[in-house]
Amino acid sequence: MRVIIRKNAQAACVTAARLIASLIHQKPDAVLGLATGGTPVNCYAELIRLHRCGELDFSRVTSFNLDEYVGLPREHAQSFYSFMHENFFNHVNIDPSRIHLPNGNAEDLTKACDEYEQSIACAGGIDLQLLGIGSDGHIAFNEPGSSLASRTRVKTLCHETIRDNARFFGSEAAVPRLSVTMGVGSIMDARQCLLLVTGEKKAAAIRSAIEGPVTSQVTASALQFHRFATAVLDEPAASWLSRKSHCDFAESSMPDPDEILR
Ligand code: PGA
């Protein structure tokens, strides 16, 4: 796994955005897998900035989001549908018909999950999947114990995730208990994975994901088996890595993603 370490969260977000921009330059009709949460907000802000400068065109881009809460109306302020529109889609020229999010309100959730997998396949698969990590080591809502071969399905949130996300809902009681999430297997099918992690409270989780054994107890660790996975971390998130200095040394001989579009 390529590990890029930046001084602070803002710099990490800019680097992740530049890696995404670079892909869109190479492939204007790229299929992006997108993520929600506090971490990627400034990555989306940088993509919006590049778009506004005339550097980035999303008109042919297709997107698939990782997950959505079950039973939360789309219009709810904390739905991932609302999050994505407020923080990204409303500010770039992506074609609304190319935007996809799992439907947490489908009458038949199992059927909707299967159809979501089919739409990803019909779009030709995901070129780049943006990911965050939960403090319990999850990617998307693949909580500890999720099968590493899992596909899009309904998943119950762990207490740690409910506690972490309570900050968005005002209380733990208000956080939905169920989600629809792409599986670890669905994520591993992406041609490229980009894991963006910031803040010291994620240091233990990212250390387990990058340096620990591959285990369903830390679903992000499955990325160790991915052929093209990049982790972009800030210093606090990287602070528990035992091979941090090697990551910096290896990176010094790589082209700097920040130079793209400078
Ligand atoms: P966060 O969430 O960016 O809000 O920390 C990440 C995640 O749970 O995947």
Helix or strand or coil: residue 255? Answer: coil
Q: Do residues 179 and 115 lie in contact, with contact meaning Cβ atoms separated by under 8 Å?
A: no
pLDDT of residue 139: 98
Amino acid identity at 90: N
> φ and ψ at 149, to 5 degrees?
-105, 5
Count CB-CB contacts under 10 A for residue 59: 11
Q: State both tokens at 181.
A: 């999430």
E strand spans, 162-250: 178-181, 193-197, 229-234
Give the Å distance between the CA of 92 and the centre of ligand 1. 23
DSSP 8-state assignment for residue 173: G
pTM greater than 0.95 = yes
Give tens-digit pLDDT for 39-79: 999 999 999 999 999 999 999 999 999 999 999 999 999 99
Tell me: pLDDT of 261 over 80. no
∠ at Cα 260 (255, 262), nearest 5°? 125
CA dist 165 and 49 (Å) reads: 27
Helix or strand or coil: residue 45? Answer: helix
**Binding site membership of 183 for ligand 1 (Cβ less than 6 Å):** no
Nearest to 198 by CA among 4, 2, 1: 4
Q: Do residues 220 and 139 lie in contact, with contact meaning Cβ atoms separated by under 8 Å?
A: yes
pLDDT of residue 253: 87
Ligand 1 nearest-atom number relative to CA 40: 3
Q: Give residue for tokens 């947490």.
A: 104
Ligand 1 nearest-atom number relative to CA 135: 8
Q: Do residues 238 and 5 lie in contact, with contact meaning Cβ atoms separated by under 8 Å?
A: yes
Give tens-digit pLDDT for 93-120: 999 999 999 999 999 999 999 999 999 9
Ligand 1 nearest-atom number relative to CA 39: 3
Helix or strand or coil: residue 53? Answer: coil
Count CB-CB contacts under 10 A for residue 204: 16
Range 191-196 average pLDDT: 98
* Catalytic member of 143, 164, 189, 234: 143
CA dist 134 and 197 (Å) reads: 9
Tell me if the domain spanning 2-259 has CATH number 3.40.50.1360: yes
Q: Exposed/middle/buried for 215, CB within 10 Å: 0-12, 13-18, 19+? A: middle
Domain layout of the chain by residue ranges: 2-259
CA dist 54 and 91 (Å) reads: 13
pLDDT of residue 262: 56
- Total residue count of the chain as it appears in this document: 262
Whether 143 is catalytic is yes
Give the Å distance between the CA of 180 and the centre of ligand 1. 16
> φ and ψ at 178, to 5 degrees?
-120, 150
Give tens-digit pLDDT for 139-155: 999 999 999 999 999 99
Percent residues over pLDDT 90 in the chain: 93
Alpha helices, DSSP H, located in 1-97? 9-26, 41-52, 80-87
Nearest to 24 by CA among 195, 194, 255: 194
Average pLDDT of the residues of the chain? 97
